[in-house]
Amino acid sequence: MSARPPGLEVAGLHVGYPNRPVVHGADVTVEAGQVAAIVGPNGCGKSTLLRSLARLHRPASGTVRASGVDVWALGRREAARRIALLPQSPLAPEGVTVSGLVRFGRHPHQSVLRQWSREDERAVREAMEATATVEFAGEPLARLSGGQRQRCWLAMVLAQETPLVLLDEPTSALDLGHVVDVLELVRDITAGGRTVVMVLHDLSAAARYADTVVAMKDGRVLAQGPPAETVDSALVKELYEVEADVVAGPSDGAPVVVPRSRSGG
């Protein structure tokens, strides 16, 4: 019996714009059912890499495979059944309700011959239950707080029922309580075997909630692997050019990054 293919395999990926290469020969592997966090300084190519995984930016060369299938060889609808993307600043139609937003996640599964079904209703209901957004079903999305809206967007992604989920800075502009809520929900997403790849700025949060950290600088993958084996003072120095102590979290042993004062005081 053959082993199950990884949730994501990226090999030799080069991505960029005319006369401006951005990602240089990236190799990334994420096991199915795991969370990977892409980290690194601003402008290092994190979001460009994620856009290429999501088929929004065609690479100059290299391959992206989701569950063993080359995503760039798929048609648009089939790709949308395999890969879900939540961008950093998603836009919703004016006046859309929460349930209406979550229903958008079912569009890739519909066609002229397959209209709204009980299967779609089930997927929407389970996604809203998993994200604790049922109570907001009839509310306009715009009336909710930032943390509540982010849970609703995640519900839409869950309703899409793809094996690979891509999240671009899902905790951006959220307060600490909502950051924890969102990242714990991200962990829950993998319970059914889904693979999650997310871009994060907070290295300590990445080390706590991800199974694999992918560290990038200047468009190149410098390191990847389990946080406890990857995140250390040397990596922080190389990525961000700051001195830091990396200590084990008292509750779970996850690496915690504590920057040192530049003044030494």
Domains of the chain by residue range: 8-91+162-259
**Residue with structure tokens 């929460």?**
98
Mean pLDDT of 152-164: 94
pLDDT for res 2: 47
Q: Which amino acid is at 86?
A: L
The candidate with the shortest Cα–Cα distance to 192, out of 47, 7, 10, is 7
Amino acid present at 49: L
What is Dmax (Cα atoms) for the chain? 68
In this model, does residue 1 exceed pLDDT 60?
Answer: no
**pTM greater than the 0.95 cutoff:** no
Residue 192 has pLDDT above 90, yes or no: no
- pLDDT band with cut points at 50, 70 and 90 for residue 115: confident
- What percent of the chain is modeled with pLDDT above 90? 79
pLDDT tens-digit map of 163-177: 999 999 999 888 899
C-alpha distances (whole Å) from 197 to each of 32, 99, 126, 245, 249 are 11, 25, 22, 26, 23
Q: What digits encode the pLDDT tens for the residues 116-147?
A: 788 899 999 999 999 999 999 999 999 999 99
Architecture of domain 8-91+162-259: 3-Layer(aba) Sandwich (3.40)
Residue 260, pLDDT above cutoff 60: yes
Q: Which helix (H) or strand (E) holds 221?
A: strand 220-225
Which residue blocks in the chain are alpha helix, DSSP H?
Answer: 46-53, 76-82, 98-103, 118-130, 146-159, 176-189, 203-209, 227-230, 233-240
